[in-house]
Structure 1
Amino acid sequence: MLVQAIEQQTPRLRLVSADEFEKMARLGIFGHEERLELVDGAIIEMSPQGPLHAALVRLVTKILTAAFAQFEVFTDRPVSLEERSQPSPDVCVVRGELKDYLERHPRPEDLLLVVEVADSSLGFDLGAKAAAYARAGVPTYWVLDVQGRTLHVHEEARSDGTWQSIRVLSGLDNTGLPHITVNDLTMP
């Protein structure tokens, strides 16, 4: 009896660039109702927004719009990070004016703050997304944990995809913005 060793190989993924991702979208390869984003070359299907998630995104947007009156605050808009990453954060605060973003997405140097509201996506938002934002040099990244009613504040990005400072705040803890606590962001 002849026994052959079968070599196990992990299948290789075909990763796409942000340019390829945008071209596929323009060509109609994705459905209009699909909520997709590109992280590290992988096309990620985003979870549908439930009522609480949508309400918290709106609340955070209102609070940040008031706190950053001299900047633009975008909701669910793609940002161009690296060649293979174009996530769509729930909320982001950017330098400049709306007219600056008519022909391009915000880039890392435009971003002041990126916020993800995490209901079912906490692990991904604290893992792969946090690393992508850090590698791109985003200065501040917040993850609002809906279930835990906590705010993960990432600051001082490192090029290796880690953060110098990560704080987990809750309740009356101040977010680092004047007069804004975690409770203000999570609703009663």
Structure 2
Amino acid sequence: MVESNIVDELMQSPEAPIIASELQQRLRKEQEKRQAFYDSLSAEENKVEFINGEIVVQSPVKRHHGLISGNIYSMIKTFVIKNGLGEVFFEKAMIRLTRNDYEPDICYFDTAQVAEFNEETSLFPAPRLVVEVLSPKTEARDRGVKFQDYAYHGIPEYWIVDPRERTLEQYLLPQGDTTYQLHKKSNNGDVEVQALPGLSLPIPAFFDERKAQAEVERLLTATPK
């Protein structure tokens, strides 16, 4: 939903037709650039995103960042596979939203969404859960444009994981809203994954490979949900 006050303000301007025409031209050029971005993806090995008309190439992941992402991914994926609940992707799934394209650190799609995919699917819709692990170069986007865009497109659950503070911020999207609400912020205890009822993960395991492996083993032997 477009912010009505922005549209109302524009409609009060005598230059509204000129502004609208200029905006259409710029968006048309942006879409041409976006198509060129898609055409280049097969040759791009680094994590790359298209954000507000700009191609953003990420630096190679740092070891600590990769370990944390891997720990979270392994626990969620174990639960999802064992219970036949869809698919989980790690870093290289391109999420195509209205204007922008993102490659989240981790994203989860439920069974209904997966039923629409095929072996050639390379651009994915808004998932049910997104996890972003912060880094100094990505924090502004993870807390800024992505935070807004994920909510606007109805992604019901968004996690921001801070390696420096060793904390999880779990954001949920109230039904019918387009703004996330902070549901949990903690560096201890468990987090209940709202997108996956029945899954509760120990937050310290996000930052400790041995604890993550122990949790994976527990999930493998647990009674299926």
- SS of the residue aligned with 1:180? strand
Please, which of 115, 118, 121 is the counterpart of residue 103 of structure 1? 121
Deviation sequence 1:5-63 (CA, Å, 0-9, x none): xxxxxxx9x6634x74243342x499734432023333223232011111122111111
Q: Percent identity?
A: 22
Q: Which has the higher helix share?
A: 2
Deviation beyond 6 Å, 4+ runs, structure 1: none
Structure 1 gap ranges (5+): 1-11
Q: Which amino acid aligns with 1:175?
A: V
Task: State the alpha-carbon separation in 2 of the partners of residues 167 and 39 from structure 1.
Answer: 28
Query: Contact (CA 8 Å) 1:135, 1:157: kept in 2 or not?
Result: no
CA gap of 1:33–1:73, structure 2 versus 1, over 3 A, is: closer
Determine the structure 2 residue equivalent to 1:113: 129
Q: Which amino acid aligns with 2:123?
A: H
Structure 2 gap ranges (5+): 1-22, 194-198, 210-225
CA gap of 1:127–1:40, structure 2 versus 1, over 3 A, is: same
Q: Which amino acid aligns with 2:54?
A: A
CA gap of 1:179–1:135, structure 2 versus 1, over 3 A, is: closer
Query: Contact (CA 8 Å) 1:72, 1:98: kept in 2 or not?
Result: no
The CA RMSD over aligned residues, in Å, is 2.9
Q: Could you tell me the TM-score, scaled by structure 2's length?
A: 0.65
Structure 1 segment 25-40 matched on structure 2, within 5 A:
25-26=38-39, 28=40, 32-40=44-52
Query: How many corresponding residue pairs?
Result: 170
Q: Could you tell me the TM-score, scaled by structure 1's length?
A: 0.76
- SS of the residue aligned with 2:68? helix
Determine the structure 2 residue equivalent to 1:81: 97
CA gap of 1:34–1:150, structure 2 versus 1, over 3 A, is: same
Matched, 1:94 2:109: yes
Residue 184 of structure 1, CA deviation: 1.5
Structure 1 segment 26-175 matched on structure 2, within 5 A:
26=39, 28=40, 32-69=44-81, 70=84, 71-76=86-91, 77-82=93-98, 84-96=99-111, 97=114, 100-101=117-118, 102-108=120-126, 111-120=127-136, 121-156=138-173, 162-172=179-189, 174-175=190-191
Q: Which amino acid aligns with 1:58?
A: G
